[in-house]
Amino acid sequence: MNKKLSIILTLMLSAILLLAGCGSSESTGSGKSDKDTFKVGLEAGYAPFNWTQTDDSNGAVKISGSAEYAGGYDVEIAKKIADGLGKELVIVKTEWDGLVPALTSGKIDAIIAGMSPTAERKKTIDFTDNYYKSDLVMVVKKGSKYENATSIQDFSGAKVTAQLNTFHYSVIDQIDGVKKQTAMDNFPAMRVALESGMIDGYVSERPEAVSASSANSNYVMVEFEKGFKTSEDDTAIAAGLEKGSDLTDKINEILSAISEEERTSIMDEAIKNQPAAK
């Protein structure tokens, strides 16, 4: 065997051993193996449940693979769950429409993203017990003719939308004569559409609406005397898990130890700490 061939074979063997080593690793990129981490998916764009910020102030957690951080109510709940499980919390920023596929494909261990445990979603994934419950409201522009609405029917003729693939969008049909607009990907996009006059209002949950109106005086939350008809599951918030997950009972035990008073306090802090709405 000549010297050149020997060198080539040695390099090839080294490459094979390196690839084999990479393939057997279960590292998440944080230096921890998958079994030591609790990977949570959220969109980081649904304040006060979750948002993106530039530093770790107010307990924000680094977003995996990013220089940014995630904060909000969901992040605080996720921290408590991770602590209870004895694992390191890893936040995986994921578009809303990609959360369930990310869970079912094993890219994340749980969805903690202000998600309601609807009957439709339960066909695909499991849910923990609820960790928050809210009411549906409308967000409109200050000075709008809809600002003083008391019934959802006051929005007859209005251009209304909601987030894509949420029950918020389906309840719009309860408004007689409404001009239902195309669903939007996220709440920042809906706020921009509202500001520009493309829409007259969007359906939201009370915490997000409080967040929007608190952060930007151009937005007003409209609560109803005669509101949307919803089921209890529709207005509840729970963590999504894979079907048959062995984490369900463990997480439910952790959630049961968080009192309603503490949950309210966490939400109040999230609303106070949210970044300014755009």
> Residue 65 is part of a domain; what is its CATH number?
3.40.190.10
For residue 188, whether the previous peptide bond is cis, meaning omega lies within 30 degrees of 0, is: no
For the cut 70, the answer to whether the pLDDT of residue 72 exceeds it is yes
Share of the chain above pLDDT 90, in %: 75
For the cut 90, the answer to whether the pLDDT of residue 256 exceeds it is yes
Q: Does pTM top 0.95 for this prediction? A: no
pLDDT confidence bin for 33, thresholds 50/70/90: low
In a domain, 26, yes or no: no
Average pLDDT over every residue of 150-170: 96
Average pLDDT over every residue of 137-143: 97
In a domain, 1, yes or no: no
In a domain, 25, yes or no: no
Mean of per-residue pLDDT scores for the chain? 89
CA gap 77, 79 in Å, rounded: 5
pLDDT confidence bin for 21, thresholds 50/70/90: very low
CA gap 204, 134 in Å, rounded: 10
Is there a single domain that holds both residue 103 and residue 45? Answer: yes
Is there a single domain that holds both residue 66 and residue 149? Answer: no
DSSP 44-102: S-BTTTBEEESS-GGG-EEBTTSS-EEESHHHHHHHHHHHHHT-EEEEEE--GGGHHHH
In a domain, 140, yes or no: yes
CA gap 4, 143 in Å, rounded: 80
pLDDT confidence bin for 274, thresholds 50/70/90: confident
Check residue 142 and give its pLDDT: 96
User: Range with the lowest mean pLDDT among 15-29, 46-60, 111-125, 166-180?
Assistant: 15-29
User: Range with the lowest mean pLDDT among 5-14, 151-160, 165-174, 257-266?
Assistant: 5-14
The pair of structure tokens assigned to 242 is: 């894979």
In a domain, 44, yes or no: yes
Average pLDDT over every residue of 230-234: 87
pLDDT confidence bin for 211, thresholds 50/70/90: confident
Is there a single domain that holds both residue 45 and residue 173? Answer: no
Triad 47, 52, 57: Cα angle to 5°: 100
In a domain, 191, yes or no: yes
Q: Do 163 and 143 meet the contact criterion of CB atoms below 8 Å apart? A: no
Is there a single domain that holds both residue 63 and residue 201? Answer: no
For the cut 80, the answer to whether the pLDDT of residue 75 exceeds it is yes
Average pLDDT over every residue of 138-160: 97
Check residue 278 and give its pLDDT: 43
Longest dimension (CA), the chain: 89
For the cut 50, the answer to whether the pLDDT of residue 24 exceeds it is no
Average pLDDT over every residue of 22-47: 71
For the cut 80, the answer to whether the pLDDT of residue 5 exceeds it is no
Query: Could you tell me whether strands 126-133 and 201-205 are parallel, antiparallel, or unpaired per DSSP bridges?
Result: unpaired
Taken in order 77, 80, 83, 84, the sign of the CA dihedral is negative
Is there a single domain that holds both residue 100 and residue 170? Answer: no
pLDDT confidence bin for 232, thresholds 50/70/90: confident
For the cut 70, the answer to whether the pLDDT of residue 164 exceeds it is yes
The pair of structure tokens assigned to 222 is: 């409209």
Check residue 239 and give its pLDDT: 98
Q: Which of 217, 232, 247 is the last residue of a domain?
A: 232
Q: Quote the number of domains for the chain.
A: 2
> Range of 265's domain?
34-133+234-273
**Residue, of 258 and 234, whose pLDDT is higher:** 258
Check residue 235 and give its pLDDT: 86
In a domain, 269, yes or no: yes
